[in-house]
């Protein structure tokens, strides 16, 4: 499948493989010769990292920067970083920070000046709150990027995926495609689940990742 430009990678839930897919997309664009950089606007579960000059960072940020071929300031790659591995709006409240969509948008715009491709990775699912009034959907609307949906293939994934697709449509967000990531090796009827989603989602399936397999676009 032909991919071009920047994308916003979101998931049907947390822990569905967004970072793995976002990193694979970055590697894909790097191999094609593009200047590509990853962005994780909001990151929870961070700790002081010697890899980032003793700044707060987490494994997601490390994976994205490792897959990128453009070096950018950490405050642009991830403007909001929190220690607790909890919902971002709660983590922000605990340290007296108000997550501002305008700050994220500005950081993204700065990254576009350094890279041809920016792969933005969301946090949690589409309706994860980021402050008292807004959710990740508001970030997606502000950035106005095509969406790549990572579907965590486990029991209940069809409902989660279709609800997310419906929500994207309601918010006027363009779904470029979806990727099936088998996160439960015991999932019964894996192929039939993929077929069910393919029949019901208008956007193309861009790839399938079997349990502990690799993404091939």
Q: Which residues form the catalytic set?
A: 40
CA separation (Å) from 1 to 17, 28, 119, 145, 195?
A: 20, 11, 17, 18, 18
Distance CA(110)–CA(49), nearest Å, equals 24
Helix, strand, coil tally for the chain in percent (to 5): 40, 20, 40
Q: How far apart are the first and last CA of the chain?
A: 6
Distance CA(142)–CA(105), nearest Å, equals 7
């Amino acid at each position: 499948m032909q991919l071009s430009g920047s994308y916003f990678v979101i998931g049907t839930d947390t822990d569905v493989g967004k970072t793995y897919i976002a990193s694979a997309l970055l590697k894909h664009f790097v191999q094609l010769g593009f200047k590509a950089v990853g962005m994780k606007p909001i990151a929870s579960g961070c700790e002081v990292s010697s890899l980032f000059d003793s700044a707060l960072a987490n494994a997601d940020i490390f994976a994205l920067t490792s897959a990128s071929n453009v070096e950018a300031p950490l405050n642009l790659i991830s403007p909001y970083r929190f220690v607790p591995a909890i919902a971002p709006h709660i983590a922000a409240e605990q340290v007296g920070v108000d997550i501002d969509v305008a700050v994220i948008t500005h950081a993204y715009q700065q990254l576009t000046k350094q890279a041809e491709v920016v792969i933005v990775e969301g946090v949690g699912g589409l309706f994860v709150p980021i402050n008292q009034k807004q959710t990740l959907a508001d970030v997606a609307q502000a950035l106005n990027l095509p969406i790549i949906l990572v579907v965590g293939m486990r029991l209940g994934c069809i409902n989660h995926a279709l609800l997310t697709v419906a929500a994207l449509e309601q918010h006027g967000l363009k779904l470029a495609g979806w990727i099936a990531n088998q996160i439960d090796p015991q999932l019964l009827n894996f192929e039939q689940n993929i077929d069910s989603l393919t029949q019901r989602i208008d956007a193309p399936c861009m790839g399938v990742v079997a349990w502990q397999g690799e993404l091939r676009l």
